[in-house]
Amino acid sequence: MTAVDAPIRVLVCEDQELVRTGYVTIFGAQPDLDVVGEAADGRTAVDSARRLRPDVAVMDIRMPVLDGIEATRLLAGPDVVAPVKVLVVTTFNLDEYVYEALRAGASGFLLKDAPPRDLVHGIRTIAAGESLLAPAVTRQLVGRFADRIRSPRRTTAAAEALSVLAPRETEVLRLIAEGLSNAEIADRMVISRETVKTYVSRILTKLDLRDRVQAVVLAHRVGLVTADG
């Protein structure tokens, strides 16, 4: 296998042994994934990630010693020189720490009840440099901040900001808010993934947004999509 075809290096960070073993089995069965380590607490996760340099760390939120949010911040936060991509996978779709985990630098968030194929897809998506939000998580994020983003003045200002986008960029923003990955957007719009990446970059720049999470909230704020889909 050449360097170009090298498998995605995965670190599994989960305190429940049964769940952790299940992840290792599922991921290890994929020819393009290589489980390089396991961690049962946040501190071990950080130490292992710094030592093993995985492409993706699959991170639970609630772990002993150091929780998944702080571990994510130490591995993928804005001040990290060589960040590790983090996919948060947890039971708590209504957990008050969901947004904080994403703010800490997580590239994606899935629920533990997601089928194995979705977990594997999530790892591949994040390893490719994209981000991923489960639809239920998108609804939770918007719901949590609904009160503070739905004032008439803020909504009007957001709608005016959206006017700088071209029609195709607006469509891409709508699909981002629905939780689609770049690959899924490319399939839906019948364009290349590189073109989608260009659109996403333009959207974030034009709207002065940091990441896709902010894009999702803005899209819901202006009514481009709704929390119910």
Pick the range with the lowest mean pLDDT from 68-77, 101-110, 196-205.
101-110
* DSSP labels, 92-153: -TT-TTHHHHHHTT-SEEEETTS-HHHHHHHHHHHHTT--EE-HHHHHHHHHHHHHHH--HH
Pick the range with the lowest mean pLDDT from 99-103, 170-174, 202-206.
99-103
Spatial distance between the Cα atoms of 144 and 155, rounded to a whole number of angstroms: 16
Q: For residue range 123-142, list pLDDT tens digits in order.
A: 998 898 777 776 666 666 65
Q: For residue range 140-168, list pLDDT tens digits in order.
A: 665 555 454 444 444 555 567 788 999 99
- Scored b (16 or more CB within 10 A) or e, 208-221 reads ebeebbebbbbbbb
* Alpha-carbon torsion (107, 109, 110, 111), positive or negative: positive
Instruction: Copy the structure tokens of residue 229.
Output: 């889909």
Helix (H) or strand (E) holding 86: strand 85-90
Instruction: Copy the structure tokens of residue 76.
Output: 């993928």
How much is the pLDDT for 216?
A: 78
Instruction: Copy the structure tokens of residue 20.
Output: 């952790």
Q: 178 to each of 49, 55, 135, 213, 216, how far by Cα in Å? A: 31, 26, 7, 11, 8
Q: For residue range 36-82, list pLDDT tens digits in order.
A: 999 999 999 999 999 999 999 999 998 999 999 999 999 998 788 88
Domains of the chain: 8-133 (3.40.50.2300), 139-221 (3.40.50.2300)
Task: Answer for the pair 106, 212: CB distance below 8 angstroms, yes or no.
Answer: no
Q: 155 to each of 150, 159, 160, how far by Cα in Å? A: 6, 6, 9
Please give the model's pTM, rounded to 2 decimal places: 0.73
Spatial distance between the Cα atoms of 133 and 74, rounded to a whole number of angstroms: 21
